[in-house]
């Protein structure tokens, strides 16, 4: 039997909140299934104390929805910035802008 590294653990999947209000349309062609998305905590966001912005490179795409961000925000606030991995799960350019890109958030296995 081979020694296999443990797989990352699925945590949540959701659409990107606020996609129509940011610059996602500028990188829609570049976003591929499996593309890595970066998270950035916005603790000073006036609309959501648990806000977590999503970026593709330097382009802001939107946010983790408020219905899913509270627990992730706690970990990020405690400095666990490398605990999560975010990837594009699906995209549909013909859908309403708020439903064009779906992401999956994984909890990374130790050593990943």
Residue 98 lies in a domain: no
What pLDDT is attached to residue 35? 97
What pLDDT is attached to residue 1? 55
Which pLDDT tens digit goes with each residue over 32-82?
999 999 999 999 999 999 999 999 999 999 999 999 999 999 999 999 999
Phi first, then psi, for residue 29 (nearest 5°) are: -65, -30
What pLDDT is attached to residue 99? 95
What pLDDT is attached to residue 111? 74
Please count the other Cβ atoms lying within 10 Å of the Cβ belonging to residue 62.
22
State yes or no: pLDDT of 11 exceeds 80: yes
Residue 105 lies in a domain: no
Task: Please tell me the pTM assigned to this model.
Answer: 0.91
* 101 vs 111: which has the higher pLDDT: 101
Q: Which residues contact 4 (CB under 8 A, 6 or more apart)?
A: none
Residue 40 domain boundaries: 9-92
What pLDDT is attached to residue 112? 67
Q: Sheet of 84-91: strands edge to edge?
A: 9-15, 101-107, 84-91, 36-41, 52-56, 59-63
Question: What is the CATH number for 45?
Answer: 3.30.70.2330
Domain count, the chain: 1
What pLDDT is attached to residue 7? 85
Which pLDDT tens digit goes with each residue over 82-104?
999 999 999 999 999 899 999 99
CB 11 within 8 A of CB 103: no
């Amino acid at each position: 039997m081979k020694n296999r590294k443990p797989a990352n653990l699925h945590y949540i999947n959701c659409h990107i909140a606020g996609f129509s209000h940011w610059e996602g349309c500028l990188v829609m062609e570049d976003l591929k299934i499996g593309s890595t998305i970066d998270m950035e905590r916005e603790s000073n966001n006036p609309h959501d104390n648990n806000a977590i912005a999503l970026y593709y490179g330097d382009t802001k795409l939107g946010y983790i929805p408020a219905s899913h961000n509270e627990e992730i925000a706690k970990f990020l606030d405690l400095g666990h910035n490398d605990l999560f991995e975010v990837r594009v799960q699906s995209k549909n350019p013909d859908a309403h802008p708020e439903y064009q890109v779906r992401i999956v958030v994984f909890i990374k296995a130790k050593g990943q």
